[in-house]
Structure 1
């Protein structure tokens, strides 16, 4: 049995981190084996706060050692990493990636380098962003940063589509084969824009913005998971992007219609299989 190893945060209530990534991949037909980097009651944007704690690097390593003991490491066909609770997680995860790729050289590593965004700034603990830039992001086969994270990795400011193309190209030169800039702010009209850079070309996916009283959390985690699932299911990168863009928009429509803050993954789950929207991507 082949599966995806998903190493990121977990919330008991709602959908962020693994709680926003595992189910979409499962709904798209994949086995998913999660390891949590933090375990919180809810995501951190609640005014009431949250409870829970960061998982230690030793605990993450211990869970992976259990997978080694039962002989399933060679069956890990992809690894996805997201929010990390401590800089020490980076070295442990780098070691896990090396071990998995030694057992299965075809394993795909997708790095979602969660650091923050232009409005919130850096939201991770001290040293995490530096460790992501210096260790995990260059190891990625697929890199899925937002605009803030792409600039942090490449050192290139982004004010236009042309800037984003140049930044994605720079990111590719630093290691990753595929770079999906998953949220570009105001680079092309009043639309939500994602830019994919691959060896075959550069592609722009856009969709309308939806207005929420409070912006849902976990959208980026859902994007990364849905895009990865498309790749593993045999879609070419541009088609995986198009499917991801339409599926995610469908979930956001469901969320807006329900007047909820938390992503409505369960109510809208059919979107992951057969999206109700059909926004086409453009090759640039």
Structure 2
């Protein structure tokens, strides 16, 4: 073993507790192995010795904190929402060894040059969490539509098919852990996304398909053409393993009025194997998440906050695609929102040490 090898000090605990001073680690010191584990690198500085070192596990380098987070369940009785831990991987591109990530996620959504919405939000969140991202932008804009001046537009579907074909020919569509489908501007874009998802579902192993049906919101209604909404309902929803609609989108997809939680729950159950309904009807000052899997469900609550930038739904869907449990994703999303109130964009990068380490929100009850 190369005794000069040093470990990268980028754990969440290190960044959160000592953001202004990078920890110093000594050369690896061999200690007595415990079980099947090998030597544990020991911190050099006295102030660093309370931190959790990276364990030398046979399958890779998960930190003890990461293993604990992966095993944590928000509350007893909700083990069904436990997520699989994606294996760490090393990719070979052109003979060069590339960086490791916990998961590889393919995102099909809109992209803005400035700000964090669509792929620009979900990709940034996944990268802050240490995941690899492959992005296919359905729309390229200068910024989101809330600004006075906007330039750009949808990418031609023919160009997207060419991009996907090049990825396929280079072997870069394989070995993804999840696919996240977001904003689609036309029925042809929906058809492209559905064809790509169907292709990837046939791979071995097949990635988990997360569909964020970006159609509209209350009280404004649809903000995509109705033909797009119908295409999403007919082509994409049946392919989803996990669906993340807001309350309005769930009502539109099911064609039902959803005045209360009971109606929302009954509408969500047959729609997909797992449905995570954001902004369920919980009152003016409370928002949250209704998680539904088959006949089981859980309700998570958090405060409704004002002055929040765009991109919150995209960020939540990305966390789910990364394999987080609903309560864990909601806890981190709430911390990200708190760090971003009043800002023009979500503070994904600048506040990462805070929201990445935020605790999970436990379920209030089983509905």
Structure 2: unaligned runs, 5 residues or longer: 1-90, 92-102
Whether 1:194 and 2:286 are equivalent positions in the alignment is: no
CA contact (8 A) 1:86 1:126 kept: no
Whether 1:102 and 2:202 are equivalent positions in the alignment is: yes
Whether 1:139 and 2:139 are equivalent positions in the alignment is: no
CA contact (8 A) 1:230 1:244 kept: no
Q: 2:230 pairs with 119, 130, 136, which one?
A: 130
The answer to which of 119-128 and 80-89 deviates more is 119-128
1:205 alignment partner, SS class: strand
Matches of 1:10 and 1:203, distance apart in 2: 32
Matches of 1:117 and 1:157, distance apart in 2: 14
Bigger strand share: 1
**1:49 — aligned with what?**
149
**2:299 — aligned with what?**
204
- The alpha carbon displacement at 1:103 in A equals 2.1
**1:219 — aligned with what?**
312
- The alpha carbon displacement at 1:193 in A equals 1.9
**2:64 — aligned with what?**
none
- The alpha carbon displacement at 1:18 in A equals 0.5
Q: TM-score, normalised by structure 1?
A: 0.88
- The alpha carbon displacement at 1:223 in A equals 0.8
CA contact (8 A) 2:198 2:239 kept: no
Matches of 1:103 and 1:31, distance apart in 2: 19
Q: 2:187 pairs with 71, 79, 87, which one?
A: 87
- The alpha carbon displacement at 1:72 in A equals 2.7
- The alpha carbon displacement at 1:61 in A equals 1.0
CA contact (8 A) 2:337 2:346 kept: yes
Bigger helix share: 1
Matches of 1:42 and 1:189, distance apart in 2: 30
CA contact (8 A) 1:191 1:207 kept: yes
Q: Taking structure 1 as reference, are residues 223 and 131 closer, same or farther at Cα in structure 2, changes over 3 Å only?
A: same
Q: Taking structure 1 as reference, are residues 80 and 271 closer, same or farther at Cα in structure 2, changes over 3 Å only?
A: farther
Of structures 1 and 2, the one scoring higher in RCO (CA 8 A, sep 6+) is: 1
Matches of 1:120 and 1:249, distance apart in 2: 24
Q: For residues 113-138 of structure 1, what are the alpha-carbon distances to aligned partners after superposition, in whole Å with 9 as ceiling and x for unaligned?
A: 00110122111135211100111011
- The alpha carbon displacement at 1:82 in A equals 0.5
**1:280 — aligned with what?**
362
- The alpha carbon displacement at 1:266 in A equals 1.3
Matches of 1:98 and 1:36, distance apart in 2: 18
The answer to which of 99-108 and 162-171 deviates more is 99-108
**1:117 — aligned with what?**
217
Q: 1:260 pairs with 312, 332, 343, which one?
A: 343
- The alpha carbon displacement at 1:224 in A equals 0.5
CA contact (8 A) 1:147 1:181 kept: yes
**2:125 — aligned with what?**
24
Whether 1:36 and 2:137 are equivalent positions in the alignment is: yes
Q: 1:177 pairs with 268, 273, 277, which one?
A: 273
Aligned-residue CA RMSD (Å) = 1.7
- The alpha carbon displacement at 1:24 in A equals 1.1
**2:114 — aligned with what?**
13
- The alpha carbon displacement at 1:105 in A equals 4.6
CA contact (8 A) 2:178 2:322 kept: no
Matches of 1:200 and 1:266, distance apart in 2: 38
Q: Which has the larger radius of gyration?
A: 2
CA contact (8 A) 1:24 1:272 kept: no
- The alpha carbon displacement at 1:201 in A equals 1.8
Runs of 4+ aligned residues of structure 1 deviating over 4 Å after TM superposition are none
Name the count of aligned residue pairs. Answer: 265
